[in-house]
Chain A
Amino acid sequence: MSRRHAPPRAERKPDRRDLGWYVDKAVEVAVFVGGVSAIVFVVGIFVFITREGLGFVTGPFDFRQFFLSPRWRPTSEWNPTYGILALFAGTASVTGLAMLVAVPFSICAAVFIGELTAGRTREVLKVLVEFLAAIPSVVWGFIGLSIINPLIINVFDVAVGLNVLNSGVILGLMAAPIMTSIAEDAFRAVPETYREAAEAMGATRWQVTYKVVIPAAKNGLLAAVLLGIGRAFGETMAVLMASGHSINLPTSVFDSVRALTATIAAELGETAVGSDHYRALFTIGIVLFLITFAINLTADLVIRGTRRKE
Chain B
Amino acid sequence: MTPPSEATEQTPPAAAIRTRKLNFWYGSFQALFEVDLEITAGIITSLIGPSGCGKSTLLRSVNRINERSGDVRTTGTIEVLGHDIHGERVELARLRQKVGMVFQRPNPLPISIRDNVMFGYRLQNPANSRNKSEQEEILEGSLRKVLLWDGVKDCLGRKATSLSLEEQQKLCIARLLPVKPAILLMDEPCSALDPQGTEAVEELIWELRGDFNILLVTHNMAQARRASEECVFMLMGRVIEHAPTVEMFVTPRNPQTSDYIEGRYG
Residues of A in contact with B (beta carbons under 8 Å apart): 118-119, 193-194, 196-204, 207, 211-212, 215-216
Contacts and interface: CB of A to CB of B under 8 A. Distances in A.
Given A207-B123, A215-B111, A200 B96 contact: yes
B93 interface: yes
Interface stretch (B100-108, B146-154, B229-237, B248-256): B100-108
A201 B110 contact: no
A190 to B, nearest CB: 9
Contact of A202 (B68, B97, B107): B97
Interface string B152-186: 00000000000000000000100110010000000
A199 B96 contact: yes
Interface string B94-130: 1111001101010111110000000110011000000
Among B70, B94, B109, the most chain A Cβ lie within 10 Å of the Cβ of B109
Interface of B: 63, 65, 68, 70, 92-97, 100-101, 103, 105, 107-111, 119-120, 123-124, 172, 175-176, 179
Interface on chain A toward B: helix, strand, loop, or mixed SS? Answer: helix
Contacts of A119: 70
A166 to B, nearest CB: 40
Closest 9 CB pairs of A and B: A202-B93, A202-B96, A201-B120, A197-B107, A200-B101, A193-B107, A202-B97, A200-B65, A216-B110
A123 B107 CA distance: 28
Given A201-B97, A202-B124, A196 B68 contact: yes
A204 B175 CA distance: 17
A201 B121 CA distance: 9
A290 B185 CA distance: 56
Contact of A196 (B65, B92, B93, B119): B65
B123 A201 contact: yes
A119 to B, nearest CB: 7
Contacts of A204: 92-93
Given A199-B96, A200-B96, A201-B176, 18 more contacts: A119-B70, A193-B103, A194-B110, A196-B68, A197-B109, A197-B172, A200-B63, A200-B101, A200-B103, A201-B96, A201-B119, A201-B179, A202-B124, A202-B179, A203-B93, A204-B92, A207-B123, A216-B110
Contacts of A211: 119
